[in-house]
Amino acid sequence: METGWDDSHDWSAAMDDYMLFWRDRQGKRGGGVNLYVRESLDSVELRACVYKVETLWIRIRGKANKADVLVGVSCRPPNQDDEVDGFFYKQLADVSKLPALVLVSDFYLLDICWELNTAEKRQSRRFLERMVDNFLLQLINEPTRGGTPLDLLFTNRDGLD
């Protein structure tokens, strides 16, 4: 999901039977996000015009009367400012209107207690409020890095996980 690709490596990120979608970090070295989707799935990238937000949105078309699923991958650098957070929350409000949404991310908001849905810092509390506003449920309950659930998985529909 989170990348740090550059031209200094001579390797391929291609995987058989998968299509690779990616967004490089703009204006800074390293970073960016990617997502592999099975080629057998009908998928398309939704273009977002906010270059400062490290988020990639892919719509996977549903089969046999099933709803489309929108999958987002995001990386929020630890030093991200309130303005960029605001751009991300605007994107999130727009896409969360869809019936099936999955968001996978590194948000680097380490002070959040997911068990109690509380946080110490203002940015983290604002983040929690936006997740509630958009009816998103965080599904990771165990530490993923350094004793904290840094890698998060959100959805807006029961049973979608």
What are 119-136's pLDDT values in tens digits? 999 999 999 999 999 999
DSSP class of residue 25 equals: P
Domain assignment present for 68: yes
In a domain, 22, yes or no: no
* Structural domain containing residue 43: 33-155
Q: What is the pTM of this model?
A: 0.83
Euclidean distance between CA atoms 51 and 120, whole angstroms: 29
Q: How many domains does the chain have?
A: 1
pLDDT in tens, 39-63: 999 999 987 656 678 889 999 998 7
The answer as to whether 121 is a domain residue is yes
CATH of the domain at 67: 3.60.10.10
Q: Could you tell me if residue 7 is inside a domain?
A: no
Instruction: State pLDDT tens for residues 53-89.
Output: 888 999 999 877 778 899 999 988 888 889 999 999 9
- 58 and 44 Cβ atoms separated by less than 8 Å: yes
In a domain? residue 19: no
Domain assignment present for 160: no
User: Looking at the domain assignment, is residue 88 inside a domain?
Assistant: yes
Residue 28 resides in a domain: no
Main-chain dihedrals φ then ψ at residue 95, nearest 5 degrees: -80, -25
* Helical packing angle, 82-95 and 122-133, nearest 10°: 10
d(C-alpha 23, C-alpha 54), whole Å:
7
